[in-house]
Amino acid sequence: MSPSIADNIARVRVQIQTACQAAGRDADSVQLLAVSKTWGPEAVRQAHAAGQTAFGENYIQEAVDKITALCDLPLVWHCIGPIQSNKTRLVAEHFDWVHSIDRLKIAQRLSEQRPEHLKPLQVCIQVNVDGGDTKSGVSPQELPALAQAVAALPRLRLRGLMTIPEPAETPEQMRAVHAQAQALLESLRQQGLPLDTLSMGMSADMTEAIAEGSTMVRVGTAIFGRR
Ligand SMILES: *Cc1c(COP(=O)(O)O)cnc(C)c1O
């Protein structure tokens, strides 16, 4: 029999603990975000039964259907995929967090559309640290101005940064990219922004990301299986 979702979550948690120990960090300084994209509500229920509460989704309409189907559970939903202007209202109304802010216009719409009765939307800015050209994210040069502008929006709360590095050849190369992201977060803190979140590391590079200061790892395949 293949391992259950509960087995997988237990194994990933041990991996996080081990990586924290190796890095001299508290085990509770790294949160596990279970990336449930393409998996149905039943898989999320199984993960919740194993103690998992934070879930990440990429595709907005799929996510909203799932969030609605699971509204009986106390889950925290994170949007980690690209957001087009015509989807901001759905995101503002259904998610707790957004990791993928890379343009002021999207952030402004989310702030305007965040319903009054909900807490401010918790957000991270996605930064393209290694200059990979296949994906979104603001450049390190543009980051400080965008961060200050997003931090000033009334219905958003800027928590930190998110990165999706290109796969690297060696663990050392991976760590070097992660270290750059950590340095960018630190420089924003020195500019007075009270940031506490570095969303960095996936199934393949979790250990390296934790060694370089990640506070949230986003894990899909290692929990739910191959998509
Ligand atoms: C799919 C996805 C993940 C999870 O990736 P796995 O390799 O399945 O762990 C993490 N972050 C983002 C932004 C994703 O799109």
CB 223 within 8 A of CB 206: no
Predicted local confidence at residue 12, as pLDDT:
97
Residue 161 domain-assigned (yes or no): yes
- Mutate which of 15, 35, 134 to test ligand 1's pocket (most atoms within 8 Å of Cβ)? 35
Q: What angle do CA 39, 80, 75 make, to 5 degrees?
A: 60
Q: How far does the centroid of ligand 1 lie from the alpha carbon of residue 221, in Å?
A: 8
Identify the band that residue 44 occupies on the pLDDT scale cut at 50, 70 and 90.
very high
Residue 63: give its domain's CATH number.
3.20.20.10
What is the residue with the minimal CA distance to atom 4 of ligand 1? 220
Residue 167 domain-assigned (yes or no): yes
Show the tokens assigned to 157. Answer: 């709360």
Q: How far does the centroid of ligand 1 lie from the alpha carbon of residue 117, in Å?
A: 30
> What share of the chain has pLDDT > 70, as a percent?
98
The mean pLDDT value for 76-102 works out to 97
Predicted local confidence at residue 32, as pLDDT:
98
* 33: enclosing H helix or E strand: strand 31-35
Residue 101 domain-assigned (yes or no): yes
The range of the structural domain enclosing residue 146 comes to 5-220
- From 211, 139, 128, select the one nearest 166 (Cα to Cα): 128
Residue 134 domain-assigned (yes or no): yes
Atom number, ligand 1, closest to the C-alpha of residue 202: 9
pLDDT tens digits for 116-171?
Answer: 999 999 999 999 998 876 668 999 999 999 999 999 999 999 999 999 998 888 99
Instruction: Output the CA–CA distances (angstroms, integers) from residue 142 to 18, 101, 104, 170, in the order listed.
Output: 35, 13, 11, 28
Residue 196 domain-assigned (yes or no): yes
Q: How far does the centroid of ligand 1 lie from the alpha carbon of residue 98, in Å?
A: 14
Predicted local confidence at residue 1, as pLDDT:
64
Residue 226 domain-assigned (yes or no): no
Average pLDDT score, the chain: 96
Residue 227 domain-assigned (yes or no): no
- From 24, 60, 66, select the one nearest 224 (Cα to Cα): 66
129-132: long-range pairs with CB below 8 Å, 24+: 129/163, 129/165, 129/177, 129/180, 129/181, 129/184, 130/165, 130/166, 130/177, 130/180, 132/164, 132/165, 132/166
Reported pTM:
0.96
Q: How far does the centroid of ligand 1 lie from the alpha carbon of residue 35, in Å?
A: 6
Q: What are phi and psi of 82, to 5 degrees?
A: -60, 145
Residues within a 6 A CB radius of ligand 1 = 35, 37, 58, 80, 164, 202-203, 218-222
Q: How far does the centroid of ligand 1 lie from the alpha carbon of residue 100, in Å?
A: 12
Given a cut of 90, whether residue 15 has pLDDT beyond it is yes
Predicted local confidence at residue 3, as pLDDT:
84
Q: Which residues contact 183 (CB under 8 A, 6 or more apart)?
A: none
Residue 225 domain-assigned (yes or no): no
Residue with tokens 């960018």: 184
Predicted local confidence at residue 134, as pLDDT:
61
What is the residue with the minimal CA distance to atom 11 of ligand 1? 218
Q: How far does the centroid of ligand 1 lie from the alpha carbon of residue 222, in Å?
A: 10
The mean pLDDT value for 66-78 works out to 98
The three-class DSSP label of residue 53 is coil
Atom number, ligand 1, closest to the C-alpha of residue 58: 15
Q: How many domains does the chain have?
A: 1
Predicted local confidence at residue 147, as pLDDT:
98
